[in-house]
Every structure is written in C-alpha cells, then in structure tokens.
A = this chain, B = another copy of it.
Amino acid sequence: MKQADFPEAVTTLIAGLKHLPGIGPRSAERIAVWLLQNPKADPLALAESLVTAKQSIQPCARCGFFATADGCGLCDDPRRDDQQICVVEQATDVLPLERSGAFRGRYHCLGGKLSPLDRVSPEDLRIPPLLRRIEAGDGDIEVILALGSDVEGEATANYLAEILRGRNCSVTRIAQGLPAGGGLEHADALTLTRALQGRRSF
C-alpha cells in the first residue's frame, strides 16, 4: 500500500515556504496547514502582496534601499545631508536608524556582510556603487560604518576602512558599548572591553 502523502499543491507550497530564510521543514508544514485550514488565514491576499511587491519594488541602483517607479525615498529627499553616507548591511537596517531620529544623511546598503563560511566575498557586496558615490561627491564626505558587532560585521568594517583609506572621505564607525538601560551585571566581557576602550572624557 502506498504511503499517504500531501496532495501535490500542498507539497509545492511547503517547498516554496521552506526556501524562505529561517523557515525549516517543520515550520513550512505548520505554516502551510495554517494557511489552508485556519479561518483567519488569507493566502490569496498574501499571494497578491507578493506579486505587487515583486512587480513594483526594485533595489535603488544608488543606495540599495527599496525603490519604486516613483524613485527612492532616501536618495530623492533633497533635505538629507549629502556629506554623510551611513553604510549598513541590509535595507532593513535603515529603519531602526531612521526611528532613532539621530541620522539625517544618506544611506548605502551593502546587501550583506563578508562571510567566507557563507561564501560571501567582497564581489558580492555593493562596494563599487559606494566608491562611485564617494568619487562623485564634492569631497569632505563622512562614511559612517553602521555594521553589526558580530565577527562578519567587524570583518566587513575592517575591509571597507582599508579600501576607503586615501579616498575622498573620512571613515567613522558607530560606537560599541553598554546598551541603553543595560546594567553592568548583564553585560558580557567583550561588551565591557569595548565600552572601556571607547570611553570618552565626561
């Protein structure tokens, strides 16, 4: 007797969901069942939003953020400071920085971080467009590296600092230290080391 299996349409859906980052085989099955059997699920609306987003959004050729046919909300805003370019890993990193309200310059999304284990090398990052932006600027540009403080973020920051040396810009990076609201008893040794190394006169 043949083992029972999902109908093909369900198997195809599960395979598609399994491809998404962070979704394993079990989660994909669970999501597929929920989509098909939960009264609150609306798979057709989700399908439509996928099609709409795919058809109307492309990465901005300049900064790498999401652009529509109307252009890029970041690059086209005349009130932003052209002399500051904040380099982030992903387009999603822009929003937390925007919410902080502490930065009013331009952004540049690399589209990843250096990671030999995941086979991400400098050629896979949007570094040439960054160099072109700096060349095209009128000098005096500050490139602010706002990359993660994990190993890959550190490696990417070091690599960028190296190739930006001697170019038409200064390079800074965001501070590492105690997070807001965090007590010393919860901070790990590396965070405290960096907080001490980055101390400033009061």
Contact = CB atoms under 8 A, between A and B. Distances in A.
A193 interface: no
Given A50-B44, A77-B1, A7 B37 contact: no
Q: How large is the interface on A (under 10, 10 to 19, 20 to 34, 35 or more residues)?
A: 35 or more
Contacts of A44: 50-51, 54
A36 B1 contact: no
Interface string A1-44: 11111110110110111011111000101111111110011111
Contact of A13 (B22, B50, B99): B50
Interface of A: 1-7, 9-10, 12-13, 15-17, 19-23, 27, 29-37, 40-54, 56-57, 59, 65-68, 73-74, 77, 79-80, 90-92, 94-95, 98-99, 101, 104, 107, 111
